[in-house]
């Protein structure tokens, strides 16, 4: 579900438009279980929309670095790459907890199982 930008990112020259990025989308995230942080990146680009639903997103080549939001899972605060910051509301905390729960079950357990099963890490799996 990309974000339709109120002001698209546009680079143009004297006679051509080099790039027009009307959307942003969450395409990457990192979770640091030790520091208890979550960072989500939102590059600018173009989404393909068919029948009101996004089917693909292509990041722009010339757009500036992706925007990002870093969440502290300890203090329930957030800081964005554009300098904005705030404290999560109860509903937002719940949404971030849902993301983190998904990370633990959908990514972390299978990753640990894979590492153990191929012998990268020898031992016994203990699910989260």
pLDDT at position 128:
64
Q: Identify whether the C-beta of residue 112 lies closer than 8 Å to the C-beta of residue 125.
A: yes
H helix or E strand, kind and range, residue 115: helix 109-117
Q: Is 93 helix (H, G, I), strand (E, B) or coil?
A: helix
Judged by average pLDDT, the poorest of 1-5, 19-23, 57-61, 105-109 is: 105-109
| 66 vs 82 pLDDT, higher one | 82
For residue 59, give every residue at least 6 positions away whose Cβ sits within 8 Å of its Cβ, in sequence order, or none: 27, 43, 44, 45, 66
Q: Identify whether the C-beta of residue 26 lies closer than 8 Å to the C-beta of residue 95.
A: no
Q: Which of 42, 55, 51, 53 is nearest to 5 (CA)?
A: 42
pLDDT at position 39:
93
């Amino acid at each position: 579900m990309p974000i339709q930008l109120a002001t698209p990112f546009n680079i143009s020259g004297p006679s051509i438009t080099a790039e027009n990025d009307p959307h942003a989308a969450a395409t990457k995230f990192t979770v640091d279980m030790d520091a208890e942080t979550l960072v989500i990146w939102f590059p600018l680009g173009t989404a393909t929309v068919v029948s009101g639903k996004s089917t693909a997103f292509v990041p722009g080549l010339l757009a500036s670095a992706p925007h990002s939001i870093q969440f502290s899972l300890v203090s329930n605060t957030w800081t964005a790459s554009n300098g904005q910051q705030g404290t999560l509301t109860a509903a937002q905390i719940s949404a971030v907890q849902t993301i983190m729960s998904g990370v633990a079950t959908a990514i972390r357990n299978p990753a640990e199982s894979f590492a153990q099963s191929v012998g990268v890490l020898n031992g016994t799996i203990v699910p989260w």
